[in-house]
Chain A
Amino acid sequence: MSTPHSTRDPGLQPERTGLSWSRTAFLLLLNSALITRAGFEHHDTLLTVLGITLLASTGAMYAWAGLRLHVITTTRQPVSPLSTWAMRLTTAVVSLAALGVCGDIVHQLLSQWPER
């Protein structure tokens, strides 16, 4: 049932996984750009800080995308403590960023509440 790790992989799994990380990093870059621009445009400090932090995370994710391909092809060990931490950090960054934007919206809503 299980295939030995040394078997040649016709499915190009390492490349597909590396590219999957790159695609995710690109979408993170898009979000960073949107949030940073919104922060600057509306003089919103929280969004600006969030956008710049996400931009740094994007750089780290692109670096990991390249490293991931190298690690898989050389070690053939798909799950390692390092890869688990990369996924945990990704989860933390995305969920905290979403909650940050949500907090900003709620803050705006509450600060303008009496006027509505």
Chain B
Amino acid sequence: MQETSEHKPRSRSLGTPAWFEQGRHPDYRFSLANERTFLAWIRTALAFMAGAVGIYQFAPDFATPVTREALGVLLTLGGASLALAAYRRWSRNEQAMRSDSALPYTRLLLVVAIFVAIVALALALLIIFP
């Protein structure tokens, strides 16, 4: 660990990420925008979960039970992954801003767009051809 004599890092609070003391504090507006982006991803995850519960529990006449359960599993796993990806993305953006480097590129948007398109297409087909 490299330390200079005039700048000793303070002891970190419990569970605080290591990058807290690295680099310099970014413009507070950028940090707040990053926090809102995290929350937007969380809301997307919550929408997936609500969709899963809706199909699995409140649409007894829709398709077959196995199809409903498969869609439920797909959407809940998607929601859980998105929530974890949201935190990881927030953390990586914050670190990039502190070190003045470019924000990390993410394929997450493309993956989510393809995922939603496939689920929507499957739902449309199941509604048209029950």
B interface, size bucket: 35 or more
| A-chain residues with CB within 8 Å of residue B43 when the two chains form the complex | 23-24, 27
B58-86 CB mask vs A (1 if < 8 Å, else 0) is 10000001100100110011011101101
Contact of A78 among B28, B49, B77, B79 (CB under 8 A): B28
Render B79-95 as a binary contact track against A, CB cut-off 8 A, 1 for contact.
Answer: 11101101100100010
Residues 82-109 of A, flagged 1 when their CB comes within 8 A of B and 0 if not, give: 0111011011001111110110011011
- A-side interface mostly: helix
- Looking at chain A, what size class is its interface with the partner chain? 35 or more
Whole-angstrom distance between the Cβ of A91 and the nearest chain B Cβ? 4
Q: What are the residues of chain A within 8 A of B26 when measuring CB–CB? A: 2
Secondary structure class of chain B's binding surface, majority of residues: helix
- What 18 additional pairs, Cβ within 8 angstroms, besides A34-B57, A81-B13? A9-B29, A31-B53, A34-B53, A38-B53, A38-B56, A77-B28, A79-B35, A81-B15, A81-B16, A87-B90, A90-B42, A91-B42, A94-B49, A95-B84, A97-B49, A102-B77, A102-B80, A116-B65
B residues with CB within 8 A of A? 13-17, 20, 24-29, 31-33, 35-36, 38-40, 42-43, 45-50, 52-54, 56-58, 65-66, 69, 72-73, 76-77, 79-81, 83-84, 86-87, 90, 94
